[in-house]
Structures are given as C-alpha cells and as structure tokens.
Amino acid sequence: MKIAVVGATGLVGSEMLKVLAARNFPVTELIPVASEKSKGKDIDFKGKKYKVVTAAEAIALKPDVALFSAGGGTSLELAPQFADAGTTVIDNSSAWRMDPTKKLVVPEVNAHVLTAADKIIANPNCSTIQMVVVLKPLHDRYNIKRVVVSTYQSVTGTGVKAVRQLEDERAGIDGEKAYPYQIDLNVIPQIDVFQDNGYTKEEMKMIQETNKIMGDDHIRVTATTVRIPVIGGHSEAINIEFEHDFDLKEVRSLLEKQSGVIVVDDPAHLKYPMPKDAHGRDEVFVGRIRRDESQENTLNLWVVADNLRKGAATNAVQIAEYLLENNLVSKGELV
C-alpha cells in the first residue's frame, strides 16, 4: 500500500513510522509529508531513505492511506484535499473528532462502525483511548452509569518543546518553555485551555469522546487532567459506577480477555502498571483493581499506556489495519 505520513518529522509522526515498521504494515511506498521547511529531508524507514515532500506533492501521488499528525488547522485544510483525491485519512488531531459526520474510532471498541465510504476517520484523544479500551468489556457486562477519571499525563503529550523544557530544568538550563510554570518536581493541573464551565479542553475531550466512542450518551463522565514530569506514558485513576453489581474475579477475567489489555495487579508483590514499563509498548496496562467501598457497584482501576503509541500512533495504524483486513481499502484503489 502507498502510505503517506503527514507530520512525519514530529513526535507522533516519527512514532507512526516506528509502529508501521514494527507491525509489518504492508507499505510498498512511503510518502513522508511535512512543512515546506522540511522538504527534501531524509526519513529512514525499514533501512531505506525517503525524501520529505510537501502536502501538494503527496496529494498528487494519490496515497491509499494518509496518517495525519500535524495539528488541527492543518488537518482541517488538508484532510479534505487528500480525501477528494481518493485517499483514506486517519487523523490524530482534534479537528474531526466531534464532527457528527466523521467516525471516532478505537479498534478494540468500535471498529465495526467503519465503512468504505469513510474517507476521514478521527483518532481519539490519547487519554480517552486508553480509558475506553478498559471500559468497553465492563460496560458490556455491567452497564456503566458514571466515570470519574483523574489523569497523570506525560510531557510527551505536549510535544518536543515540553520534553526539552523538562530536560533543561533538570540540567539547570534556562531554555524555551512549553508550560507557564516549571514542570520538573511539579505537577500542573491544566492541560489545554480553560473553557467557560471551568474545565479544560482536554477534560471536555475525555467526556465527549467517551460518549461518542462507546455509543452511549447515558454514561456520565467527569475528568481532571494533570501534567506530570514523566516521559514514558499517561496514567489514569478511574472510578466506575455500574448499574449492576460485579464480581472482582470476573472483572479481572473480562479485562484479561480484552484485546489490547494487560492486567498487572499483584499488590502482594508490589506489581502494578507504571509509565516506565508502558514506554514503547502498544498495550494498555491495568492494575490496582479494587472495589470502591464508599458506595455500591463501584470499581477503582489504575490504567497506564504509552500516549505516543496506543494513545496516538498505534491506534491510527490499527485503524488502517482494520480497513485493510476488512477490504474497506485496498492497494491502489478504494473498494
């Protein structure tokens, strides 16, 4: 397949290339796309070098699939142009997520909604992805009423500038800032801009996207999203209230059987998920599985995933894999 990666020089774009290679996606021709200033730059992929091209050049090459990670404004402008050329776009920005005409997909949860007619497919927010993968089997069994989630999110979710700020602060260097405050030895209870209701945009993404992906507006969600000085991945403390009571053994069994989930839950031996262990992995890790003893039918979980992998690049590639496996897109032409 002819695959374009739009934003190939960025953190997520680079990770998309790694995931395509690691999962042996059938790339016959790679088209790395970036801004005009990066044109001509060499990108390494599976032992071969490819030249970065502009979006206009990429559109003319008519790729089968374009993986986008270049920001919302770029996506709003360019995704329709790729789609008009016959390319299926899988977009990692927030541009199309809540568009009622576009599908918002986590393959383990709702890939079945995809059709060959979907030319622009939205990749959800990183923190939402890892949460709904875990919620899905539990909702199917016990019917979720309410979710309270607090996140502990890696600086990699902000980008290269934030990683540099953390590294500079640890080295005692007064460099460029991605955040309004020091991030090393600190936590910042703000991710994205504040909305009129006092929540941040990131928090509202988790609320709205969860309902859309799960296909159930009756699930009530509230979120607090926090940036922490970590590089490996995002962590979440999730409190889930169900309509029906549950058995903890069955909960563990449901999670162990869920595609893409690894249960790490052995308090007696201090075994639980941590960002450093999720780093570079494609799975979602779940632990600290316990009953909320303050009210009925309520469960506590600790969920960790690499936000650049399952939270972004891997999920996008898995969508492409699903399209290919189900003959919704094929080499050279859309079905």
Name residue 277's amino acid. Answer: D
* 112 annotated active-site: no
List the catalytic residue out of 112, 139, 218, 234. 234
Residue 235 three-state SS: strand
Rounded (5°) CA angle 131-133-135: 70
Asked whether 242 and 299 are in contact (CB, 8 A), the reply is yes
Q: Which residue has the tokens 């059987």?
A: 257
Eight-class DSSP state of 37: G
Closest CA to 26 of 317, 229, 273: 317
Eight-class DSSP state of 179: S
CA–CA dist 37, 231 (Å, integer)? 28
Residues sharing a CB contact under 8 Å with residue 275, sequence separation 6 or more, in sequence order: 154, 230, 231, 232, 233, 234, 235, 304, 306
Closest CA to 303 of 192, 184, 147: 147
* 234 annotated active-site: yes
Q: What is the edge-to-edge ordering of all strands in the sheet holding 88-91?
A: 29-33, 2-6, 65-68, 88-91, 120-122, 103-104
Of the CA atoms within 13 Å of residue 193, those in its CB half-sphere come to: 2
CA 286 to chain centre: 16
Closest CA to 318 of 52, 40, 109, 45: 109
Q: Which two tokens stand for residue 293?
A: 């003893």
Closest CA to 279 of 237, 230, 315, 317: 230
List the catalytic residue out of 112, 126, 218, 244. 126
Closest CA to 235 of 205, 276, 271: 276
Chain length of the chain: 335
The residues that are catalytic are: 126, 234
